[in-house]
């Protein structure tokens, strides 16, 4: 009996205080600073496409954004790659972005319709040092708009990324006013000059896109609520209000 007590005493003394507390106080609730109630958290999972011509830096942007990492040496993406970015958007909201890195040559294949399915936002990337990659942006946007839309049939929010802005630029990107006009005419939500190498505007562009997605989601919820309010109950049955110009 005395040997048992001595062993117990040695264990309690040798263990650090926080381990001792966990062993001796395991029935208590965790401290407030550690307690997290999943019921109080709103969680969203959004599929985001990253598209554009070969070699524009799509993979580098994703690596920088998700892993805070940049390398000059990347193999060309074949088909599609995936990455997940978790954002603690605010104290009550967690957003998970499923980033689909789609190979530049895929625009010429038949798989983009499959890859685009259920996406709620997109980045189209071009290389500011190669004007021909900007010339292809319209084709990518058209391909996107014809293959995926929101539930109401409108285009998904899309942000144009003028990547490699740490290097000398070619073409229209040198004229911000013309870029603004271009984005309005082509239906882009906005555009950003970015650099994966120098970590310029990548977080800002993503936050801008997520805000657009959240805004669309909120409008969709409001529209659903409005449709629900256009119904009334008669004799326990729900009927839709007729929208008509005459009363018969």
Q: What is the structure's pLDDT at 233?
A: 44
Query: 158 has which bridge partners?
Result: 122
Q: What are phi and psi of 193, to 5 degrees?
A: -80, 130
The class that CATH gives domain 38-225 is alpha beta
Output the 3-class SS for 29-50.
CCCCCCCCCHHHCEEEEEEEEE
Q: Compute the residue count for the chain.
A: 248
The per-residue pLDDT for 132 is 96
> What pLDDT does 39 receive?
58
Query: Domain boundaries in the chain?
Result: 38-225
Q: Rounded distance, CA 194 to CA 160, Å? A: 10
pLDDT at 129: 97
pLDDT at residue number 221: 64
Q: Alpha carbon of 46 to those of 1, 13, 17: distances in Å? A: 61, 50, 43
Which segments in the chain show pLDDT lower than 50? 1-37, 226-227, 231-248
């Amino acid at each position: 009996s005395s040997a048992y007590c001595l062993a117990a005493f040695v264990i309690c003394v040798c263990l650090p205080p926080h381990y001792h507390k966990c062993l001796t106080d395991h029935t208590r609730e965790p401290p407030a600073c550690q307690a997290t109630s999943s019921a109080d958290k709103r969680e969203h999972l959004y599929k985001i496409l990253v598209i554009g011509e070969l070699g524009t830096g799509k993979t580098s942007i994703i690596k920088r954004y998700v892993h805070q990492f940049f390398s000059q040496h990347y193999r060309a993406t074949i088909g599609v790659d995936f990455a997940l970015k978790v954002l603690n958007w605010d104290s009550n909201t967690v957003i998970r972005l499923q980033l689909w890195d789609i190979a530049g040559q895929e625009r010429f294949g038949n798989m983009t319709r499959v890859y685009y399915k259920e996406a709620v936002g997109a980045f189209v990337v071009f290389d500011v040092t190669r004007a021909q990659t900007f010339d292809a942006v319209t084709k990518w946007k058209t391909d996107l708009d014809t293959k995926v839309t929101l539930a109401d049939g409108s285009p998904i929010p899309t942000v144009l990324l003028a990547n490699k802005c740490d290097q000398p630029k070619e073409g229209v990107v040198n004229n911000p006013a013309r870029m603004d006009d271009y984005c309005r005419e082509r239906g882009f939500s906005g555009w950003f000059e970015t650099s994966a190498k120098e970590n310029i505007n990548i977080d800002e562009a993503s936050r801008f896109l997520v805000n657009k997605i959240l805004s669309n989601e909120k409008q969709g919820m409001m529209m659903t609520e409005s449709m629900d309010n256009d119904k009334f109950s008669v004799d326990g049955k729900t009927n839709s209000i007729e929208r008509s110009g005459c009363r018969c």
